[in-house]
């Protein structure tokens, strides 16, 4: 594991040197701040229930019934009987679907039995902890300094003030695609 974090330089002006900071004090600071801000709160989970909407199928069936009914008047004998059975079957299905209500999708927030601190302490893997930090909208800023600058003067921790709606929408779309 790398012993320090190094700035990727995206925010620097050309020619300006990127700085680095020791990893251990940053992770310690992040842990302290996360537990101070979120530790005592219970975790929650969003439970999504899919909706039911047969509108598109109803429109398609109605169009099929109309088309087949138009053909029926031109047919006689066994052909007319076959088309009549088709129309009746589609019509019965259409009637059943029209009787069903449209149910919109729902989301429900369920409170879990654990707190953020419980899960933080139960999982020392920083990949999982990083996900927890992202879940609460945590951001950590590291300011340049010198070796005499105190750790807390170089670091800033914030929760939920930076939400990226496009990234959230993309993540939600990817989540839905995996269901």
The pLDDT tens digits for 66-114 are: 888 887 778 788 888 888 888 899 899 999 999 999 999 999 989 999 9
In tens, the pLDDT along 31-76 reads 999 999 999 999 988 899 999 999 999 999 999 888 888 877 787 8
Three-state secondary-structure class, residue 75:
coil
CB atoms < 10 A from the CB of 74, how many?
9
pLDDT (0 to 100) of residue 94: 92
The DSSP bridge partners found for residue 20 are 6
Q: Are 116 and 43 in contact (CB under 8 A)?
A: yes
Total residues found in the chain within this entry: 179
Q: Is 59 exposed, middle or buried (0-12, 13-18, 19+ CB in 10 A)?
A: exposed
Distance CA 73, CA 80 (A): 8
- pTM to 2 decimal places: 0.57
- Look at strands 106-115 and 138-142 and give their pairing: unpaired
> What is the predicted pLDDT for the residue at 23?
83
Q: What angle do CA 5, 140, 13 make, to 5 degrees?
A: 65
Query: Residue 3 has what pLDDT?
Result: 82
pLDDT tens digit sequence for 5-25: 777 666 656 666 667 777 888
Determine the pLDDT at residue 56: 92
Q: Locate 73 and state its tokens.
A: 């008047």
1 vs 115, higher pLDDT: 115
Is the predicted pLDDT of residue 30 greater than 60, yes or no?
Answer: yes
Residue 128: pLDDT band (50, 70, 90) is very high
Instruction: Report how far residue 140's alpha carbon sits from residue 157's, in angstroms, rounded to the nearest whole number.
Output: 5
- Mean pLDDT calculated for residue range 141-147: 71
């Amino acid at each position: 594991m790398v012993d320090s974090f190094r700035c990727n330089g995206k925010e620097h002006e050309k020619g300006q040197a990127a700085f680095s900071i020791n990893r251990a004090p940053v992770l310690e600071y992040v842990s302290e701040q996360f537990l101070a801000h979120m530790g005592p709160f219970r975790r929650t989970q969003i439970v999504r229930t899919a909706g039911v909407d047969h509108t598109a199928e109803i429109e398609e069936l109605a169009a099929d019934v109309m088309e087949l009914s138009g053909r029926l008047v031109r047919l006689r004998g066994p052909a007319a009987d076959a088309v009549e059975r088709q129309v009746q079957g589609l019509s019965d299905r259409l009637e059943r679907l029209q009787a069903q209500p449209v149910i919109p999708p729902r989301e429900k927030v369920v409170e879990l039995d654990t707190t953020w601190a419980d899960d933080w302490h139960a999982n020392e893997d920083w990949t999982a902890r990083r996900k927890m930090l992202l879940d609460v909208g945590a951001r950590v800023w590291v300011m340049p300094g010198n070796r005499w600058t105190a750790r807390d003067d170089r670091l800033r921790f914030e929760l939920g003030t930076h939400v990226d709606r496009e990234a959230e929408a993309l993540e939600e779309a990817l989540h839905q695609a995996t269901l």
